[in-house]
Each structure stands twice: as C-alpha cells, then as structure tokens.
Amino acid sequence: MRVAPDAAQSNPPDPQLHLFGMHVRRIRESLGLSMEELAHRSGMSFRGIAYIEHGRRNPSLLSLLQIASGLEVAPSRLLDCFAPNDHRGTTSAPGTTP
C-alpha cells in the first residue's frame, strides 16, 4: 500500500515564508548556533525550527518571540528581511506597499 506524500513536503514553500526562514537561518549561523542549540535556547522543538527555516511553517507571534529570545536579538530583527528598502522580500511593484 502506497502512502500519499505529506502535503507540506509536496508543495513548494510560500516565497515569503522561505525568505523569512532563510533570514532566521542566516542569523542563527552568524551566531554559530546549530538548529539543536536554537531549539533548546528558544524552547521550541528541533522540527519546529527546521520547518520554519525551510519555509514549511508559518510561525505564530509567540514562535517569533521565542526564536528572537533564543537568538538573543530584538524580534524586529527577524522581520528585517521584509523591510521596504530590501527588494528581496517584496513581491509588489516598486513604489507600492507589499
């Protein structure tokens, strides 16, 4: 009997979730932390961190706060990837609000 693949694995990640996850990963790696260390420091599961970093999970506000605490950064730093002057995080036309 064949089992259908998990929907989260078969669909490509949302571009903004992927961007956010890559940003979290860059911050984590710049601090020399492994995913396991971040999970422990933030009180989250390793799987939760992995899903967020791979753009497979839309983190809640509480998760964002936990990650920021684990990374010892301001929560706003996690959202820097969506800054209006950073065109990597926008999908709207120039001069418009995403």
Chain segment 1-28, per-residue pLDDT in tens: 454 445 445 688 899 999 999 999 999 9
Letter for the amino acid at 12?
P
Query: Is 87 inside any structural domain?
Result: no
- Residue pair 69/34 in contact by the 8 Å Cβ criterion: no
Q: How far is CA 2 from CA 5, 6, 35, 62, in A?
A: 9, 12, 32, 37
Could you tell me which residue, 7 or 52, shows the higher pLDDT? 52
Query: Is 48 inside any structural domain?
Result: yes
Query: Is 60 inside any structural domain?
Result: yes
Can you read off the two tokens belonging to residue 27? 């911050």
Query: Is 53 inside any structural domain?
Result: yes
Count of other CB atoms within 10 angstroms of residue 38? 23
Total number of domains in the chain: 1
pTM of the entire structure? 0.76
Query: Is 72 inside any structural domain?
Result: yes
| Residue 31's CATH number | 1.10.260.40
Letter for the amino acid at 10?
S
Domain containing 47 equals 13-82
